[in-house]
Amino acid sequence: MINNELIRGTLDYEWETGSEGGYWSIVDKDSLLIAPISHGVFAGTKVFAKDNIERRGRVLSAMNPDGSEFVIAHAGDVVQAFIEWEDGEQELMMSSDLTQQSISFDGIWEVKDGDYLTVYEKIMPARVAWEGLVKFLRKDPDTYEELDPPYVQESADPTIWRHWFLYAYPATLMRPTGFIRPKSIPPITGLRRQKPKE
């Protein structure tokens, strides 16, 4: 349950078709579930080793059993995934040997101007990596990657800021107006293909 003042969770980069490059967000820790992968995985997907939930990584590329690039997901698909684990090790695994986070739509909150964000180190979560008032600047459309949000935090290095969101750093978010959902929330349909450039 989210109170109206503070969200504790992990940073995330949400990318969806039609969102003009996605948005920076925080995922409420109470909405995170670990689920088996039943439809293959795309490049950019955050995954966990099925036999060790503490081992986290990101899919660098995914291939069908015939060696072709995996681009369309169907229920029951099992693909070969080239994983880069958080410790830097890279490994080829079958998607059936991986799990992934499943997030309720209610648990994703866009980071907005005026929010107060605190980002913590991953290795030492009690240590603050950055904190401050969120104040976004619009990027020059000719200088940002297609899948990046079209805005950047005024007082943070853009490369480091992006890293925190792509690699799910722990964080808290305070919003002066509180966190209130509209009464009607549109359902999420289909699968999202996250495709970060890192």
pLDDT at 152 over 90: no
Q: Element (H or E) spanning 7, and its range?
A: strand 6-14
Spell out the SS3 assignment of 127-155: CEEEEEECCEEECCCCCCCCCCCCEEECC
User: 45: which residues sit within 8 A by CB, 6+ positions away?
Assistant: 58, 59, 62, 81, 100, 194
- Min mean pLDDT across 63-77, 91-105, 106-120, 143-157 is at 143-157
Phi, psi of 33 (to 5 degrees): -130, 150
Report, as an integer, the average pLDDT of 168-188.
68
pTM, whole model, 2 decimals?
Answer: 0.60
Q: Which domains does the chain have, with CATH numbers?
A: 6-30+104-174 (no CATH), 32-103 (2.30.30)
- Min mean pLDDT across 9-18, 58-67, 80-89 is at 9-18
> 131 - beta bridge partners?
118
**Token pair belonging to 74:** 């169907």
**Res 1: pLDDT:** 38
β-pairing, 80-85 vs 52-63, is antiparallel
**Res 168: pLDDT:** 85
Report, as an integer, the average pLDDT of 76-87.
88
Question: Residues 157, 193, 44, CA angle at the centre, nearest 5°?
Answer: 50
Tell me which of 190 and 47 has the higher pLDDT.
Answer: 47
- Min mean pLDDT across 28-32, 64-68, 170-174 is at 28-32
pLDDT at 83 over 60: yes
Tell me which of 194 and 78 has the higher pLDDT.
Answer: 78
Say if residues 63 and 80 touch (Cβ distance below 8 Å). Answer: yes
